[in-house]
Structure 1
Amino acid sequence: MTDKSPINRRWLPLNALRAFEAVGRHSSFTAGGHALNVSQSALSRHVQTLEALLGCPLLIRHPHGLETTEAGRRLLPAISRGFDGIEREMNEIIRNRGRDRHLRTLRVHMPPSFLQQVGLPALKSFRREYPDIIIDVASSYVTGWPREEPDIAVVYDRPQAGQSVTDLLWMIHVAPACAPEIAREHEGKTLERFLRDTELLHVKLQGQARGLMWASYIRQRGLEVDTDRGLAFETASAATGYAMTGGGVALIDLVLFAQEIAAGRLVVPYPEPAEEGYGYFLTMRPEDMADPILALFRTWMIEHCARPEPPPLLRAAAAP
């Protein structure tokens, strides 16, 4: 095998990198060509040039489609991150052109229920302390890193290794919660009987069955309850809000809705929390760690979400 000279940024084949990134991202020469507004043959030549430069194939062409090789799978996310960063910063400069005070807009993403319960108070406090920092807030109910490519995001996800800088805010513990009058109406019943006799309120998870969260809780408790019935909501806040009207029982995050429990608007008649397997994580790209505004906001959010002790229900459950 012929040794290849080290790649030098002075000779980076930018057109070939753009071509491979478009084809790899869309898994198609046709779609990649449409994305860049160039012909398939031109894309193919660029990819072949890149493969020749590296001395190994990046794509395997099958009759039914394309497959990236191991080298292609390693290179593709690096190229995408690089181009995403260039695009992001150039658009940032254009958006902030002519502003005297700041050339930086902090783009934050939070899931809707987190934003409503925790994010809005945190942002209000942050703005009071740092009024000159420009902030754009986006919110969508997705699992993991959002498509909007923010600077920093609170993500709802399972713990997992990755290339992002991730700070755990808290792991989610859930328990059935309802309005006080519903708890009084069913007082004395077993948990199984209570869940059979009340309307179950679901929260939709992207790409998951509507009853997944309740089914997991029921399975952990060893109960027999039909989890296919009931109402399904887009957000945990909506499901919990409906529960507070007396409309049924919701499976709630005891940390996220601790204030509603403390105020008596929600009660947890069977205080035996279960681990959901998901948590809220503050996530950002490693290359942004040196950004002083991002570092400031990251520290602020971690301190805002830090709790000296868990909610009372979790303390009781953890007691020997």
Structure 2
Amino acid sequence: MPQADLNDLQAFRAVAQERSFTRAAAQLGVSPSALSQTLRGLEARLGLRLLNRTTRSVAPTEAGERLLRALGPAFDGIEAALAALGDLREKPSGTIRITAGEHATETVLWPALERLLPAYPDITVEVHVDNTLADLAAGRFDAGIRIGELVGKDMVAVRIGPELRMAVVGAPAYFERRPPPKTPQDLIGHACINIRLPTHGGVYAWEFEKDGRELRVRAEGPLVFNVAPPLLRAALAGLGLAYVFEDQARAHLAKGRLVRVLADWCPPFAGYHLYYPSRRQPTPAFALLAKALRFRE
């Protein structure tokens, strides 16, 4: 039904309940003459008289009474639905689907969820841990978390973490057998523990930069994994060198369980960003999560 007809029915309902054009007009915020004209137009379209009018009173006809009884539950349902939407504003709820890599999930997403969810028990966050650049639309995700440089230009991107840095590390026992590499090219003679990433089309090439010079090294070694956690364990076991996020190795470096090399070839780079389509209208629940994730210096 056209919107004008819904407005007309609402006008009829007000007049029939108030039994007065003057009181109904005040309730609806229109003039009595405009309201009277609206009702005449509705009656003309329906081909039925809905109201009996006298100089002193207004009352529904038989057809008007029948229509009024039918409109009651319908308009009550609409009002209840609108009130429920208001409740969502006051009490955010619903499911948010997020795609994120392992490291992002552990370092930026989980701390935010730990703070947010206890205060909002009606919010459910479904996290799809995946190292691919998942298609948000195809996967029906509300948003994703990725390193800033990997976010598409057509997305809204919000910074949610500090700059990141990579580290090449190995166990002291490993360096007892082989001299530390001085340049990235020296990695060719070392046992390197690799990871296969779908986003890179195969085994990930280690990325380095120094004084504006960029290098990618396809190092070889005895192990290749498709997830990151085993890289560090293999390095700690002395099986080779691993290329990991600096924060993952920091505690082991401090305790001497790992030794870092090529630090001058591993500059900081853009950290994690929350991204989602620009056309997306954030729900109250999603807006809360975005606020909880937003990076603060």
* TM-score, with structure 1 as normaliser: 0.51
Match of 1:127 among 109, 112, 117: 117
1:153 matches 2:144: yes
Spell out the pairing of 1:1-320 with structure 2 (5 A cutoff). 103-143=93-133, 145-146=135-136, 147-156=138-147, 158-159=149-150, 161-168=152-159, 169-170=161-162, 172-183=164-175, 186=178, 190-191=182-183, 195-206=187-198, 208=200, 210-214=202-206, 216-217=207-208, 227-255=219-247, 257-262=249-254, 264-274=256-266, 280-303=272-295, 306=296, 308=297
Describe the SS at the equivalent of 1:148.
Answer: coil
Q: Alpha-carbon deviation of 1:285?
A: 2.7
Instruction: Please give the alpha-carbon distance, in whole angstroms, between the structure 1 residues aligned to 2:199 and 2:125.
Output: 30
Q: Against the structure 1 CA distance between its residues 173 and 179, is the aligned structure 2 distance closer, same or farther, given a 3 Å change threshold?
A: same
The alpha-carbon deviation at position 283 of structure 1 amounts to 0.9
Tell me how far apart the structure 1 counterparts of residues 258 and 97 of structure 2 sit (CA, whole Å): 33
Does the Cα contact within 8 Å between 2:221 and 2:240 map onto a contact in 1? Answer: no
Are the aligned partners of 1:178 and 1:267 in contact in 2 as well (CA < 8 Å)?
Answer: yes
**Contiguous gaps of at least 5 residues in structure 2:** 4-90
Question: Cα RMSD (Å) of the superposition?
Answer: 3.8
Select the structure of larger CA radius of gyration: 2
**What is the CA distance between 1:186 and its match in structure 2?**
4.4
Distance in 1, matches of 2:243 and 2:282, equals 39
Indicate if the aligned counterparts of 1:178 and 1:244 stay in contact, CA closer than 8 A: yes
Give structure 1 stretches of 5+ with no counterpart.
Answer: 1-9, 11-100, 309-320
Indicate conservation of the 8 Å contact 1:117/1:256, yes or no: no
The answer to whether the Cα contact below 8 Å between 1:174 and 1:273 also exists between their aligned partners in 2 is: no
> What's the offset of the Cα at 1:153?
1.6
Aligned residues: percent identity?
19
Q: Is the 8 A contact 1:110 1:153 kept in 2?
A: yes
- Considering fraction of residues, name the structure with more strand: 2
User: AA paired with 1:166?
Assistant: A
- What is the count of residue pairs matched by the alignment? 205
